[in-house]
């Protein structure tokens, strides 16, 4: 059972993907952005390996306009050795890579140019994974596409195009149920006819379940038979609903007990779980530590990152956590207890006076000049008088931390919530 996260790592400096607009595309900007993004991908993989995280989805933004005629740079040749070395790094870390083109890559469209563009996009994704030296278990996850008033015909078009895809795409392509149109039952029917593995997405399924009343576990068992030996372990997507947003919006973080319940339901299955959640790696580590266990050092390292968030809610809780971490218990039960306590604390309201003290402490580590000091003092004063919200104050502190590359601050979760 592997657990992983998608595209970006919160609190890991130098891992953001830069993008370009069409108007600013040139040989130079393309070179620069590709170089930066590939270096950042290396940092992401290094971090992921260091944390023992077994799954990672590479952002489609790695190469700007990767599948567009606007990009004439043979990036896979220019950066061949660098990409290969990143692939080796991932392999050493036992990291299974994947990619997931967005909602705009549609191969079942009745419009030929849309399909041609989509195929070019899939070739781009396959080329990224191939350049990294990935085996065919590194998958490209795709939705079926549009309905066009006739889902049967649209499904048939999907299968026809799927069969015509170049081998390097087809060997990696897997299909997923979506939250509006194609239910897991319909995806499975297509998967069986096309001979393509199916990914079960629990949240999409909750919103768009279709008429057959199978349990989640039964659906996952059905999907299991679409995965053949060379495809690697069966994959699923797991996410939770953000209660404050529209149906289908991913929650800011994974609620542990709800996840553990789902995880228990997977017993006896061999599945890789890709989490889709706003806080990315943060929740991935939580779910990993609470299921497979964690060393005291791993929990200690997480605690240091959460610390300012606890401090701004209730400094007394800092001691509770320290006590917990010093107490006994094996890696798994300690992990569960640690993250349950953290969730309880993070659900508490931030007290304004306490948030001021925390902000002052964090800001102090980032201020290098009197001007900066005065600017931050002003922001803190404005927050004290309730003229600006806390996240605006944090934003100014983050800008400073970035400008001076203050790693102790940048690696904390202080700015994430």
Which spans of this chain sit near DNA (rule: CB under 7 A)?
7-8, 16-24, 68, 102-106, 109, 111, 113-114, 117-118, 145-148, 181, 246, 248-250, 375, 379, 388, 392, 395-396, 399, 403
Taken in order 61, 58, 240, 149, is the CA torsion positive or negative?
Answer: positive
Contact (Cβ atoms closer than 8 angstroms) between residue 37 and residue 86: no
- Pick the closer one to DNA by CB: 106 or 359: 106
What are the tokens at 60?
Answer: 């489609």
Nearest distance, CB of residue 21 and DNA, angstroms = 4
Residue 376 CB, shortest distance to DNA, in Å, is 8
The answer to whether residues 366 and 402 touch, using CB atoms and an 8 Å cutoff, is: no
Q: Which is nearer to DNA, 19 or 270 (CB)?
A: 19
Report the C-alpha gap between 188 and 199 in whole angstroms: 9
- Of 49, 129, 134, the closest CA to residue 89 belongs to 49
Min CB(152)–DNA separation in Å? 13
| Cα separations in angstroms, 74 against 23, 31, 126, 140, 328 | 20, 10, 15, 21, 55
Considering only the C-alpha atoms of the chain, give the largest distance between any 2 of them, rounded to a whole number of Å.
68
Distance (Å, whole) CA 401 – CA 36: 20
Shortest separation between residue 207's beta carbon and DNA, angstroms: 11
Closest distance to DNA from the beta carbon of 377 (Å): 12
User: Which CB sits closer to DNA, 78 or 114?
Assistant: 114
Cβ nearer to DNA, comparing 233 with 375: 375
- Least CB distance to DNA at residue 338 (A): 27
> Contact, 236 vs 216, CB < 8 A?
no
Those residues whose C-beta lies under 8 Å from the C-beta of residue 323, and which sit 6 or more positions away, are: none
Give the whole-angstrom CA distance, residue 125 versus residue 119: 10
CA distances from 340 to 110, 262, 345 (A): 50, 16, 9
> Residue 210: left if φ>0, alpha if ψ -120 to 50, beta else—which one?
left
Nearer to DNA, 270 or 403 (CB): 403
CB-wise, 34 or 299, nearer to DNA?
A: 34
Dist CA 265 CA 270 (whole Å): 12
CB of residue 355 vs DNA: minimum separation in angstroms?
17
CB of 229 to DNA, least distance (A): 33
d(CA 113, CA 22): 19
* Residue whose CB is less far from DNA, 17 or 310: 17
Instruction: Please check whether residue 281 is in contact with residue 53, taking contact to mean a CB–CB distance below 8 angstroms.
Output: yes
Measured distance CA(170)–CA(168) in Å, rounded:
6
Query: Please, which residue, 121 or 137, has the CB nearer to DNA?
Result: 121
Helix or strand run (H / E) with residue 176? strand 173-176
Residue among 290 and 410 whose Cβ is closer to DNA: 410
Q: Which is nearer to DNA, 342 or 397 (CB)?
A: 397
Smallest distance from DNA to CB 342, Å = 23
- Helix (H) / strand (E) containing 142: strand 139-143
**Least distance in Å: CB of 150 to DNA?**
10
């Amino acid at each position: 059972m592997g657990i992983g996260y998608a595209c970006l790592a919160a609190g890991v400096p130098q891992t953001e993907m830069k993008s370009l607009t069409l108007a600013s595309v040139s040989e130079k900007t393309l070179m620069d952005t590709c170089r930066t993004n590939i270096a950042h991908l290396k940092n992401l993989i290094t971090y992921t390996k260091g944390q023992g995280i077994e799954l990672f989805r590479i952002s489609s933004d790695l190469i700007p306009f990767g599948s567009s005629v606007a990009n004439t740079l043979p990036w896979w040749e220019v950066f061949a050795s660098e990409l290969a070395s990143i692939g080796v790094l991932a392999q050493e870390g036992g990291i299974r890579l994947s990619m997931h083109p967005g909602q705009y890559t549609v191969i079942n469209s009745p419009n030929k140019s849309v399909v041609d563009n989509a195929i070019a996009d899939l070739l781009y994704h396959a080329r990224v994974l191939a350049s990294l030296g990935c085996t065919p278990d590194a998958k490209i996850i795709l939705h079926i596409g549009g309905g066009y008033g006739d889902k049967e015909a649209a499904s048939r078009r999907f299968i026809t195009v799927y069969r015509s895809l170049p081998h390097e795409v087809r060997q990696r392509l897997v299909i997923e149920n979506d939250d509006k149109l194609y239910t897991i039952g319909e995806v499975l029917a297509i998967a069986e006819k096309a001979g393509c593995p199916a990914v079960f997405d629990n949240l999409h399924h909750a919103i768009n379940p279709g008429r057959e009343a199978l349990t989640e576990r039964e659906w996952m068992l059905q999907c299991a038979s679409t995965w053949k030996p060379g495809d690697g372990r069966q994959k699923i997507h797991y996410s939770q609903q953000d209660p404050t947003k529209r149906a289908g919006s991913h929650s800011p973080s994974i609620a542990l007990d709800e996840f553990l319940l789902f995880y228990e339901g997977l017993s006896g299955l061999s599945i890789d779980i890709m989490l889709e959640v706003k806080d990315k790696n943060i929740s991935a580590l939580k779910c990993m530590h609470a299921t497979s266990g964690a060393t005291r050092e791993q929990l200690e390292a997480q605690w240091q990152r959460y610390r300012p968030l606890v401090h701004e809610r209730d400094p007394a809780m800092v001691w509770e956590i320290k006590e917990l971490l010093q107490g006994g218990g094996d890696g798994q039960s300690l992990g569960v207890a640690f993250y349950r306590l953290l969730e309880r604390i993070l659900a508490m309201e931030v007290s304004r006076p306490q948030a001021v003290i925390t902000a002052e402490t964090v800001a102090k580590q980032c201020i290098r000049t009197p001007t900066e000091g005065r600017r931050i003092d002003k922001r803190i004063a404005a927050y004290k008088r309730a003229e600006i919200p806390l996240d605006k104050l944090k934003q100014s502190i983050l800008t400073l931390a970035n400008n001076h590359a203050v790693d102790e601050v940048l690696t904390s979760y202080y700015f994430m919530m």
